[in-house]
């Protein structure tokens, strides 16, 4: 059997996963792993938690060392060796040893590209003269922790309200640092729907975080050790520490002129086998442009889970096992202060841009049986097609988010319909869930919607047409005393049949309760008696959480 020589560019999640799998499949292949950084196979998802002191030992982040990969897997690992170019005709790469400055060439039979992504760092005036940090690797967080230790900052500005920015906000907050988040978009967490992101924003505001939306950074001014962050609106923020978290882009500059086809933002185009347009050259991880499982369109999803799976698939293909990558649905989860925020599949913006027809079920139940101590609210939102196909899901809450999003992600991947969620037999005991789990409840709500038994309106519908509808609140007196929708009429559900004469038959009646269950019962009563009744999705809980947040942001 002819020995293969395989060169791997990049040794973090995907590259290291490939190399280990490749060795298990082929004991005799020569595997050379080239990594331009000082570490391989480290847990970059754990970096913010090292800054915050949750993970106190940096070594815990390092999953594999070059020495271990050599002794256990017989892999030639060369750290701080940067690939600067590729000659696809000669089947060789040009490598610069960053320690010695030496440049050399390395031949290959197969080439695996896993260079990852690099943080976006725009040329903002003053950015190089100020304590502005990014979060990509261990040296980055070493620099941040050293700055915190030496300077004891009081005020940090996080530029960017995505997952990394919010994780860093959470961890710096735990160090006693005042946090300000600046986000150019109208919302934080761009992968979430506007209303779900607003629930998270409300939690941040309750924690004392300052939040500036629809505003970007125009410049940094550094005087006498104090940094002033000058926003496009003209606001000026004082900062002892700035974290730039504006997203990432594929780290593929070294591929220019190689003949390897590139896609959006410099990503590497691959087929279903993760092979590029050049035979024998594969790409995976954050730099690879793969197929979105939901839309069938090319996408970039910088997540560790897909990268590790892709590493395994590439090794299988080089070994002759013929595997394909069936696309990524973008399942993600993040801890943001006391909340867990998770999503899978398509969000509203994506569906609207693709002109996909969809319906949405929203419910705000508790994480487990409300009578058992310690339950917390869950915001659950699921998009589905008129045929019942699950298109995407989002969940926000303090407890039980992870297990529900995993169920919904599995249902989406396996092609279950939203009505199938009713039939799922999920583990139940009062400390863990409810006899009708929130996932089951989504199925019940969706079936009623698809059957036409429940007509639904959403927060944006209410905002646009509030003057043309009659809003009926069917909660109890004590609930309404705590807050209600302005202009609504209050008739408790138990009194509804006796007070029907108070309701108009020439207007749409939007029925509101706490989470939607009683409103549905009321709508059934009204529809069967000739009224045009609809249910406000998510109920007053959802309405209040979103609108109180928006009001607080505007006031700031």
Q: What is the mean pLDDT of residues 532-538?
A: 95
What count of other Cβ atoms lies within 10 Å of the Cβ of residue 91? Answer: 17
Which residues, including other chains, have CB under 8 Å from residue 30's CB and lie 6 or more apart?
A: 3, 4, 5, 6, 76
Lowest mean pLDDT among 52-66, 299-313, 382-396, 442-456: 52-66
pLDDT recorded at residue 64: 83
Contact in structure between 241 and 280 (CB atoms under 8 Å): no
pLDDT recorded at residue 533: 96
What secondary structure letter does DSSP report for 87? E
Q: What is the mean pLDDT of residues 487-497?
A: 96
pLDDT recorded at residue 301: 87
The catalytic position among 45, 419, 489, 524 is: 45
Name the nearest CA neighbour of 393 among 540, 264, 294, 325.
294
In three-state secondary structure terms, 330 is coil
pLDDT over 90 (residue 291): yes
Residue bearing tokens 């090319």: 298
Encoding tokens for residue 445?
A: 């709500």
pLDDT over 90 (residue 225): no
Portion of the chain with pLDDT greater than 70, in percent = 98
pLDDT recorded at residue 548: 87
- What's the distance, CA 134 to chain centroid? 18
pLDDT recorded at residue 43: 82
Active site residue 45: yes
Q: What are 47-68's pLDDT values in tens digits?
A: 999 899 899 888 888 888 889 9
Query: Of the spans 130-139, 458-467, 530-539, which averages the highest pLDDT?
Result: 530-539
Q: What is the mean pLDDT of residues 141-163?
A: 94
pLDDT recorded at residue 149: 92
Q: DSSP alpha helices (H): ranges in 207-319?
A: 304-318
Q: What are 503-519's pLDDT values in tens digits?
A: 999 999 999 999 999 99
Look at 304 and 448; give whichever has higher pLDDT.
Answer: 448
Residue 401 dihedral angles phi and psi, to the nearest 5°: -70, -45
Query: Of the spans 37-51, 75-89, 223-237, which averages the highest pLDDT?
Result: 75-89
Lowest mean pLDDT among 38-52, 207-221, 277-291, 333-347: 38-52
Contact in structure between 18 and 314 (CB atoms under 8 Å): yes
Name the nearest CA neighbour of 417 among 385, 395, 378.
385
Lowest mean pLDDT among 38-52, 74-88, 483-497: 38-52
What count of other Cβ atoms lies within 10 Å of the Cβ of residue 481? Answer: 10
Q: What are 117-151's pLDDT values in tens digits?
A: 999 999 999 998 888 999 999 999 999 999 999 99
Average pLDDT, the chain: 94
Strand bridging mode 178-183 / 155-159: parallel
Cα→Cα distances 129→171, 216, 222, Å: 25, 19, 7
Report residue 45's pLDDT band, with 50, 70 and 90 as the boundaries. confident
Residue 466 dihedral angles phi and psi, to the nearest 5°: -65, -30
pLDDT recorded at residue 465: 61
pLDDT recorded at residue 1: 54
pLDDT recorded at residue 57: 86
Q: What are 419-457's pLDDT values in tens digits?
A: 999 999 999 999 999 999 999 999 999 999 999 999 999
pLDDT over 60 (residue 373): yes
pLDDT over 90 (residue 27): yes
Contact in structure between 516 and 541 (CB atoms under 8 Å): no
Report residue 209's pLDDT band, with 50, 70 and 90 as the boundaries. very high
Per DSSP, which regions of 160-207 are E strands? 178-183
């Amino acid at each position: 059997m002819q020995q293969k020589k395989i060169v791997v560019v990049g040794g973090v999640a995907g590259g290291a996963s490939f190399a280990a799998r490749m060795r298990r499949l082929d004991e005799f292949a020569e595997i050379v792993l080239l990594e331009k950084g000082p570490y391989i196979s480290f847990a970059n998802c754990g970096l913010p938690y090292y800054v915050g002191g949750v993970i106190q030992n940096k070594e815990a982040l390092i999953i594999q060392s070059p020495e271990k990969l050599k002794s256990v897997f017989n892999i030639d690992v060369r750290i701080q060796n940067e690939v600067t170019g590729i000659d696809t005709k000669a089947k060789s790469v040009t490598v610069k040893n960053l320690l010695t400055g030496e440049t050399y060439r390395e031949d290959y039979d197969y080439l695996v590209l896993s260079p990852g992504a690099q943080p976006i760092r725009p040329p903002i005036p003053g950015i190089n003269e100020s304590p502005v940090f990014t979060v990509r690797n261990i040296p980055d967080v070493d620099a941040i922790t050293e700055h915190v230790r030496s300077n004891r900052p009081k005020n940090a500005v996080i530029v960017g309200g995505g997952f990394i920015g919010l994780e860093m906000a959470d961890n710096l907050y735990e160090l006693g640092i005042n946090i300000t988040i600046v986000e150019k978009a109208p919302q934080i967490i761009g992968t979430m729907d506007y209303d779900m992101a607003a629930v998270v924003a409300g939690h941040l505001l309750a924690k004392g975080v300052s939040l500036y939306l629809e505003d970007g950074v125009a410049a940094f001014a550094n005087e006498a050790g104090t940094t002033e962050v000058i926003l496009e609106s003209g606001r000026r923020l004082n900062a002892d520490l700035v974290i730039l978290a504006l997203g990432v882009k594929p780290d593929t500059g070294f591929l220019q002129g190689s003949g390897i086809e590139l896609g959006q933002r410099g990503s590497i185009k691959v087929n279903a086998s993760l092979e590029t347009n050049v035979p024998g050259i594969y790409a995976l991880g954050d730099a690879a442009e793969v197929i979105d499982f939901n839309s069938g369109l090319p996408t970039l999803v910088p997540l560790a889970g897909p990268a590790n799976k892709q590493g395994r698939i590439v090794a299988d293909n080089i070994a002759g096992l013929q595997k394909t990558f069936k696309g990524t649905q973008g399942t993600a989860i993040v801890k943001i202060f006391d909340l867990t925020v998770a999503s899978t599949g398509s969000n509203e913006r994506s569906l609207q841009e693709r002109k996909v027809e969809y319906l949405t079920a929203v419910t705000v139940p508790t994480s487990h049986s409300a009578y058992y101590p310690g339950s917390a609210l869950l915001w659950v939102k699921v998009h589905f097609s008129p045929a019942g196909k699950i298109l995407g899901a989002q969940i926000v809450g303090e407890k039980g988010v992870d297990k529900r999003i995993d169920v919904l992600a599995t249902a989406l991947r396996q092609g279950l319909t939203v009505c199938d969620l009713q039939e799922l037999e999920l583990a139940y005991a009062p400390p863990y869930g409810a006899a009708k789990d929130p996932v089951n409840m989504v199925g019940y709500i969706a079936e009623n919607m698809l059957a036409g038994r429940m007509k639904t309106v959403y927060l944006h519908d209410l905002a646009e047409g509030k003057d043309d509808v009659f809003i009926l609140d069917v909660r109890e007196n004590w609930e309404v005393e705590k807050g209600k929708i302005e202009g609504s009429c209050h008739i408790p559900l138990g009194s509804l049949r006796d007070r029907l004469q108070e309701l108009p038959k020439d207007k749409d009646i939007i029925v509101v309760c706490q989470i939607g269950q009683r409103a549905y019962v009321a709508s059934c009563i009204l529809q069967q008696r000739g009224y045009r009744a609809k249910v406000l999705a998510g109920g007053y809980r959802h309405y209040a959480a979103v609108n109180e947040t928006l009001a607080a942001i505007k006031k700031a």
